[in-house]
Amino acid sequence: MKLSVIASNRPASQGAFKAIKEKYNLVSPADADVLVVLGGDGFMLRTLHERINRPTPIFGMNCGKIGFLLNEFNLDNLENRIRQAEQVILKPLEMKTENIHGKVEKTYAINEVSLYRHSSQAAHLKISVDNQERLSELVCDGVLVATPAGSTAYNLSANGPIIPIGSNIMALTPICAFRPRRWKGALLPHNAKVQIEVLDPERRPVAAVSDYLEFSKVKKVEIQEAQQIKLPLLFDPEHNLEKRIISEQFYT
């Protein structure tokens, strides 16, 4: 098994990197069968973004705080752990934005795409799904579309639903909705296209964020699953991402 390792610049990650280098013969990421990632969830998200078109399986080990997308850190029997690991395929969201100057940009999100007000005034948004208008005006702090993998992150803190991996569903969740007050969001098929138009974008500016990449003064945003992209993550059987997402629904 040819292993490659990348690590965040945190001292814990760099110390773990040094220990692995002393124990294993490592290769470059381009030549690896498996890429071992050392860091926290933020570093894992950045790594996935950088490798969006490189489908090498990734085995992450947590050197951060929560480590939801990573395994526990342990160097013992690392190769055997990787061989026995269970694979989960993540499919990111594709986000296309157009700003008030007509500039169009495209990027991807592993967790979620979120829109939020960029001023003291509430955002006014029109929401369509598959070219059918669903909300003519949502007055809110923002709205987000989350993947199953991201449903336990920002989506959950905004009172959105937790979605099991493999459910072929994504969440459309409002952030502090003012009107309509009773609207709590929607569950959509994974292949739906969400179209969001910012009403009065000059006076009520809105920013769009895909995970950690921000685009300001947007007027239109399209979000859909990037079905052609598959990101394989490897997990210890007892630390499987699918099982942990199920468990999160019963966390009190």
Query: What residues are labeled active site?
Result: 41
* Nearest-10 Cα torsion for 207, 210, 215, 221: -70
Q: In this structure, are residues 151 and 237 in contact, taking their beta carbons and an 8 Å threshold?
A: no
The full length of the chain comes to 252
Distance, C-alpha 20 to centroid of its chain = 28
Q: Which amino acid is at 241?
A: L
Query: Which DSSP category does 190 fall into?
Result: T
| Alpha helices, DSSP H, located in the chain | 11-23, 41-50, 78-84, 154-157, 241-248
* Closest among 62, 56, 8 to 34, alpha carbons compared: 56
CA–CA distance from 224 to each of 14, 85, 135 (Å)?
A: 36, 29, 18
Q: In this structure, are residues 74 and 61 in contact, taking their beta carbons and an 8 Å threshold?
A: yes
Q: In this structure, are residues 72 and 239 in contact, taking their beta carbons and an 8 Å threshold?
A: yes
- The residue whose two tokens read 């948004």 is 125
